[in-house]
Structure 1
Amino acid sequence: MRTPHALLATAAALAAAAVAPPAAADAAADVPPGGTYYVQSATTGLNAAAGKSAVEQHNPKGDEDHQRWNLLASGASYVLEDADTAGSCLGRSGDQARTVACTGPDAAWEIAPAGDDQYTLKVPGADRHLTVAAKPAGANYPAQLAIGSAGGLARWYLTPVRPATRPMPPADRRTLDQVTFLTAHNAYANGVDGGFAPPFVNLVPNQTRGIDRQLADGVRGFMLDIHQTRDGAILCHNSCTLVSKPVALWVDLQRMVDFLEAHPDQFVTVFLEDYVDPGVLRGELARVDGLSDVLYRPDRTGVRQNGWPRMADLIAANQRLLILTDHSRSADETAGLTRDSFGVMYQREWTVENHWSMGSGLGSSDWSCYSRWYGADLNIPLTRTEPGFRPLFVMNHFRDTTISGTAQTDNGKLADRAERFCEPAARKKPNFLAVDRYDLGNPAAAVDSLNTHTYP
Structure 2
Amino acid sequence: MLDMYDFNGDVWLCHSLQGQCYNFTAFEPAIDTLKELEAFLSENPTEIVTIFIEDYVHSPMGLSKVFTAADLMKYWYPISEMPTNGMDWPSVTDMVAKNHRLLVFTSDASKEASEGIAYQWSYLLENESGDPGITGSCPNRKESQPLNSRSASLFLQNYFPTIPVESEACKENSVGLPQMVETCYAAAGNRIPNFISVNFYMRSNGGGIFDVQDRINGLTLCGCNTIAACQSGAPAGSCKDTGAPNRTSSSVNGNVYSGTIEFKSHASSATSNTNIWSNFVGLLGLVLICQAVLIFQDLAFI
| TM-based fold match above 0.5 | yes
Q: Residue 246 of structure 1 aligns to which amino acid in structure 2? A: F
Q: 2:140 and 2:177 mapped to 1: Cα distance?
A: 19
| 1:301 matches 2:98 | no
Runs of 5+ consecutive residues of structure 1 not aligned to the other structure: 1-222, 333-337
Shift, 1:240, TM fit: 2.9
Shift, 1:279, TM fit: 2.2
1:17-416 map, 5 Å: 223-238=1-16, 239-243=20-24, 246-277=27-58, 279-289=61-71, 291-297=72-78, 299-301=79-81, 303-304=83-84, 306-327=87-108, 329=109, 332=110, 338-339=111-112, 341-358=114-131, 366-373=135-142, 380-386=145-151, 390-413=152-175, 415-416=177-178
Alpha-carbon displacement from aligned partner over 1:1-47 (angstroms, at most 9, x marks no partner): xxxxxxxxxxxxxxxxxxxxxxxxxxxxxxxxxxxxxxxxxxxxxxx
Q: Secondary structure at the match of 1:413?
A: helix
- Cα distance change on mapping 1:293 and 1:418 into 2, 3 Å: farther
Do 2:124 and 2:153's aligned partners in 1 also have CA atoms closer than 8 Å? Answer: yes
- Cα distance change on mapping 1:276 and 1:379 into 2, 3 Å: closer
Q: 1:237 and 1:403 mapped to 2: Cα distance?
A: 18
Provide TM-score, normalisation by structure 1: 0.44
Do 1:418 and 1:430's aligned partners in 2 also have CA atoms closer than 8 Å? Answer: no
- Cα distance change on mapping 1:447 and 1:416 into 2, 3 Å: same
Of stretches 249-258 and 299-308 in structure 1, the one that deviates more from structure 2 is: 299-308
Q: Residue 440 of structure 1 aligns to which amino acid in structure 2? A: R
Q: Secondary structure at the match of 1:434?
A: strand
Shift, 1:245, TM fit: 6.9
| 1:426 matches 2:179 | no
Alpha-carbon displacement from aligned partner over 1:41-85 (angstroms, at most 9, x marks no partner): xxxxxxxxxxxxxxxxxxxxxxxxxxxxxxxxxxxxxxxxxxxxx
- Cα distance change on mapping 1:415 and 1:313 into 2, 3 Å: farther
Q: 2:100 and 2:82 mapped to 1: Cα distance?
A: 14
Per residue, is there more helix in 1 or in 2? 2
Q: 1:440 aligns to what?
A: 203
- Cα distance change on mapping 1:340 and 1:437 into 2, 3 Å: farther
Q: Secondary structure at the match of 2:47?
A: coil
Do 1:326 and 1:348's aligned partners in 2 also have CA atoms closer than 8 Å? Answer: yes
- Cα distance change on mapping 1:309 and 1:400 into 2, 3 Å: same
Shift, 1:381, TM fit: 0.2
Larger RCO (alpha carbons 8 Å, 6+ apart): 2
Shift, 1:355, TM fit: 0.1
How large is the Cα RMSD of the aligned pairs? 2.3
Q: Residue 370 of structure 1 aligns to which amino acid in structure 2? A: P
- Cα distance change on mapping 1:279 and 1:302 into 2, 3 Å: closer
Do 1:340 and 1:346's aligned partners in 2 also have CA atoms closer than 8 Å? Answer: no
Shift, 1:249, TM fit: 1.5
Which protein shows a greater Rg?
A: 1
Shift, 1:443, TM fit: 1.3
Q: Secondary structure at the match of 2:131?
A: coil
Shift, 1:450, TM fit: 1.0
Q: 2:64 and 2:179 mapped to 1: Cα distance?
A: 37
- Cα distance change on mapping 1:315 and 1:415 into 2, 3 Å: farther
Identity in percent: 28
Per residue, is there more strand in 1 or in 2? 1
Of stretches 400-409 and 348-357 in structure 1, the one that deviates more from structure 2 is: 400-409
- Cα distance change on mapping 1:366 and 1:316 into 2, 3 Å: same
Q: 1:352 and 1:262 mapped to 2: Cα distance?
A: 31
